[in-house]
Amino acid sequence: MIYTTLLNIAIFQGIVLGLVILKSSLFSSHSNKYLAYLLFALSIKLLTHVFEIQQVFTSYPLLRFVDNIEWVFLIPAFLFLFIKNKTDHTGQSKLKDYWCFIPFVYSAILNIVNDLDHVAAIYNFPDAGLAIINVLGLFHLVLAVTFIPFLPLYSYFMIRNLEDSQEKKWIFTLLTIVSLLLFAWLITALAGLLLNYDISSTMSAVALFATFIIHWTAYIGIYKYKLAKNKEAIYNFLNQDSAILYPNLQTVQKNGNDTPHEHKESITADNLYFQKLEFLCKDQHIYTDSTLNREKVAEKLGISAGYVSQIVNTVTGDNFAHYINQYRVEAVKEMMSDPEYSNYTLLTMGLESGFTSKTTFYNAFKKVTGKTPNEYKNSNK
């Protein structure tokens, strides 16, 4: 009872944590989404283990289709893609993402076809068909023995490209414990398959280790350090009270001279302050403030105005003014297509979106779209 309760808590936490990473602009990034998918894969694998313990498959045999799919193939794939996108910001990696999922797709198709005979009893394989299935099953075993160890081992070489030492330490630890889980599962499964050992108790221990990984990721990866580095902001966000809503909230620790301390990290799209700036623009629409400037944004983020410019310029290649004006132009374009604003003049739309005058509005709009507001509106009628 206690054992299954621990598993159920981990399953729930893994799913919720994955959804938070995917849906929150505070955590969301191209690399972190693969960590969310990794948590989902671990949760599904634990769920099938709980179903086995509770004998759910006996009552609902068709659920065997889900159980017999080797979800474990997704774990090294998502782990590798998480690290790949953390280390390769240029997109120059020659290894295409879809190659990582070929073993899982192959395994799923093979097991589903096999279950149509053994589980659903839709048809019976002839002897020749069984021989082919057996050969394909051997290839499936070879895939498991080679693919599952290869991606984690290859990932260790990719970590060397990380510049942030603390980030490197966190990801190295994550990679190590997930790799240990995968190797333990693989060795146990092979022992059961080739040596006919009773692996139920060992698999239970492996599942318990998987729950530890989910809890550890929640605490270390989300709360304590890396997916977002600010505890107070995360605490408020997870309690549905985003710290960014409050301009007086200090989002960073201050030193003895009472000046903001900026985290020294590589400036990429995963940068915490850039993610917060994106949140402010996309969710809080701060660009509608016609008096908005670097100093106001810097105060909200708890960093210097110069660092705001540096972040925006490094990540987007634009200056701060152009970055904000792009959001304003997008807001005007949305108004143009919304019947609710049909009575608004173009200038009114521009002023509502944060522009201070007709000249700045028209110049910014043409710079972003290549057309004047009138030309754009007429071309989209």
* pLDDT per residue as tens digits for the range 141-188: 999 999 999 999 999 988 887 776 777 888 899 999 999 999 999 999
Specify the DSSP class assigned to residue 324: H
Identify the pLDDT of residue 330.
Answer: 93
Q: How far apart are CA 266 and CA 268, in angstroms?
A: 6
pLDDT value at 339 more than 60: yes
Which residues pair with residue 260 across a beta bridge?
254
Which residue type, as a one-letter code, is found at position 152? P
Report the predicted TM-score, pTM, of the whole model to 2 decimal places.
0.61
89 with 132: CB under 8 angstroms?
Answer: no
pLDDT on residue 224 = 53
Residue 24 has pLDDT above 80, yes or no: no
Given a cut of 50, is residue 261 above it in pLDDT?
A: no
CB 353 within 8 A of CB 314: no
CA distances in angstroms from 351 to 90, 280, 295, 357, 365, listed in the order given: 37, 19, 21, 7, 12
pLDDT of residue 60: 87
Residue 227 pLDDT: 57
Query: Which pLDDT score is estimated for 243?
Result: 41
244 versus 322: which is more confidently predicted?
A: 322
The predicted pLDDT at position 221 comes to 62
Question: What pLDDT, in 10s, does the model give residues 70-92?
Answer: 899 999 999 999 998 887 644 44
94 or 127: which leads in pLDDT: 127
Task: Please name the residue that has the structure tokens 């969710």.
Answer: 283
Domains in the chain (CATH in brackets) are 2-227 (1.20.1070.10), 245-379 (1.10.10.60)
Give the residue ranges of DSSP H helices in the chain: 2-23, 32-53, 56-59, 64-68, 74-87, 102-118, 127-159, 165-195, 200-216, 231-238, 272-282, 294-301, 305-316, 320-337, 346-352, 358-369, 373-379
The rounded distance, in Å, linking the Cα atoms of 300 and 233 is: 12
pLDDT in tens, 32-56: 889 999 999 999 999 999 998 998 8
